[in-house]
Amino acid sequence: MNSLTADGLRKTYGKTAALDGFDLAVPSGVIHGLLGPNGAGKTTAVKALATLIDVDGGTAQVAGYDVRGQAAQVRRRIGLIGQHAAVDEILGGRQNLVMFGRLFGLRKAEAQRRAEELLGVFGLTEAAERPVSAYSGGMRRRLDIAAGLIMTPAVLFLDEPTTGLDPRARNEVWESVREIAARGTTVLLTTQYLDEADQLASRISVMNHGRVIAEGTPDELKRQVGGDRVTVTLPPRSLVPEIAEKLSAAVGAPAVVDDEARSLTFEVGAGVGALADIVRGLDKVGVAPEDLVLRRPTLDEAFLALTAGSPSPAPPSPAPSSSAPSSSAPSSLAPPSPAPPSPVPPSPVPPSPAAPRSASSSPASTEETSR
Amino acid sequence: MMTLRAGWIMTQRELAHWVRQPWSPIFGLLFSIMLLLVFGFLFGGAITVPGGGDYITFLLPGMLALSMMFGVETTATAMANDARKGITDRLRSMPIGSASVALGRVGADMANSAVELFVLILGGLLIGWRITSDPASIALAVVLLLLLRFAMLWIGIFVGLSFRGEGATMAVQVLVWPIGFLSTAIVSAETMPGWLGAIAAWNPLSATASAARELFGNPTGITEGPLADWAVWLALAWPLLLTAIFLPLSARAYRRLRA
């Protein structure tokens, strides 16, 4: 039984198609990730499913009701958590929850009881009386999520819930999302971060230009994207091509060379082992690297891989240098490392202790050997 | 019934704001009182009222009408803020109707303006304003003033929903001044150049100001023209007309959020 289905949704703003044949099928009780870059149409999709906007074409059902014809029934069964923490900043946390509870139709006493419960669940009891404007970003987000859960919705929409949060606050939000799903609510989570979708979602739809371009479990997608990347930045005046060749041999993977940045990037299956190989290789050629970073594929790389479709070489990849991730938000996926030269590889691993590292043996992939 | 209830909850939200941040409404009141003092004492000495009469007594009903008109800014800002912060979207994703959202605004803003009116009337009486009419006329004057505020409310909702950027809020804040001053609220239209006076006389604000003067038994500064004979009727007709235009426009703007 699907809690969410969308079939060929279309929505055009002027000449841009924000949704261009958007399809989705999400079974009940799971977390489904909707992954895509800025402007891919994620928010438009969420707004269409949450009955906030009228689509131009296609059909969608949420919790068994048609979003176009039965909007009122849909609204009784959903929670929406948008990109801004949509809570009243002047009021306290408790006041917010009671107000929204009463607006949902709860009687005052009921709304108060529910507010207490949610404040407890989200660790906000102590801050309940403080005005929301004095909350930290993470607390505000948690209150926002709590407000979306007052009626224990069948379907919860979370639109980029961790954008702009520091790593600690992000972990808090992730924890909340997992708990929500554990209680049986279907969650549609949009995100720009592969890592976030990986952490939370059981299935991911990758979205670009208003439609889903790939779908699968995180592992399936990662197999398509390829394994971890190791980037070595060489000191000035190195013989880059020569070193690239030797390291390639040591790692057993071709190097993507960026002459400008004097960096070599290798796609490696199991990152940590490869890191050791590279360090040994560097030792052998007697080069002390300026920087050495182990990281997950960036979203850019993921998209290139996913949109490439065929094994033919992908179009010129965006310079996979350590300074390039284009997203300005703190990317948990590819920590930009303008870090000072350090002999120890800065841990690019997202602050999640149990990050399931992809152990896939990067299949003959879209990696390109540009030289 | 549901709509009324939700509207009341939204009103309570606003009342809770006052308790949480009393300085915000208090500052608004101080601002109105400051305007009153500036015009009453700073400029007032240089102003004569056509047809005779004390300037403070002439000014006060005008200031009451002006403060009702300035309310458009409060409404527009509140609507735009809710839209910008995503609160409007949250409300729209909930099973409550658009009428509830509007009713909440009506309740909150009318309560706010009623308090403001009361304080300004008290302040006026303290600086020498006198009411020389019967209670029924006084009541009618207050009703007409609040009616103007009611009309401004729908303009504010329309503007706040249609133009959500911070720039639009600023535009409203700036525009209310020339529109407010190009009326008989502060000076009589008869002291202005002919064409300007004609525009000022047709300003809906002038109708309310003149009607309030008449009903409070204060000098009107009017010796001829439609305002001399029809002020009360115009003060009834203008706000009703504005409401008839902007209430449907507001409803349409709310629906168009779905576009």
How large is the C-alpha radius of gyration of chain B?
19
Measured CA to CA, the distance from residue B151 to residue B133 in angstroms comes to: 26
Which amino acid, residue A319? A
Out of A50, A99, A131, name the one closest to residue B20 (CB). A131
Strands A186-191 and A203-208: unpaired
- Name chain A contacts of B77, Cβ cutoff 8 Å: none
Out of A54, A82, A104, name the one closest to residue B89 (CB). A82
A250-307 per-position pLDDT tens digit? 877 788 888 888 888 888 776 677 788 888 888 888 888 888 888 877 766 777 777 6
- Name chain A contacts of B9, Cβ cutoff 8 Å: 99, 102-103
Which residue in B94, B96, B254 has the most chain A C-beta atoms within 10 A of its own C-beta, making it the best mutation to test that interface? Answer: B94
B56-110 per-position pLDDT tens digit? 999 999 999 999 999 999 999 999 989 888 899 999 999 888 888 899 999 999 9
Measured CA to CA, the distance from residue A3 to residue A5 in angstroms comes to: 7
- Name chain B contacts of A84, Cβ cutoff 8 Å: 84-86
Out of A86, A100, A131, name the one closest to residue B86 (CB). A86
User: Is B10 in contact with A52 (Cβ distance < 8 A)?
Assistant: no
Measured CA to CA, the distance from residue B100 to residue B2 in angstroms comes to: 8
How many angstroms separate the CA of residue A11 from the nearest CA in chain B? Answer: 9
At A79, which helix (H) or strand (E)? strand A78-81
User: Is B93 in contact with A52 (Cβ distance < 8 A)?
Assistant: yes
Q: What is the pLDDT along chain A (371 residues), one digit of tens a residue?
A: 789 999 999 999 988 899 999 999 999 999 999 998 888 899 999 999 999 999 999 999 999 999 999 999 999 999 999 888 899 999 999 999 999 999 999 999 999 999 999 999 889 999 999 999 999 988 999 999 999 999 889 999 999 988 888 888 888 889 889 988 998 999 999 998 888 888 899 999 999 899 999 999 888 887 777 778 888 888 887 788 888 888 888 877 788 888 888 888 888 776 677 788 888 888 888 888 888 888 877 766 777 777 664 333 334 444 443 333 333 333 333 333 343 343 444 444 444 333 343 333 333 333 333 33
User: Which of B19, B2, B157 is CA-nearest to residue B88?
Assistant: B157
How many angstroms separate the CA of residue A13 from the nearest CA in chain B? Answer: 9
Which amino acid, residue A142? R
Residues 6+ apart with CB under 8 A from B175: none
Out of B20, B85, B93, name the one closest to residue A50 (CB). B93
List the single residue in B with minimal CA-CA distance to A11: B259
| Global pTM exceeds 0.90 | no
* DSSP helix/strand/coil, A26: strand
Task: Inform me whether the C-beta atom of residue B92 falls under 8 Å from chain A C-beta atoms.
Answer: yes
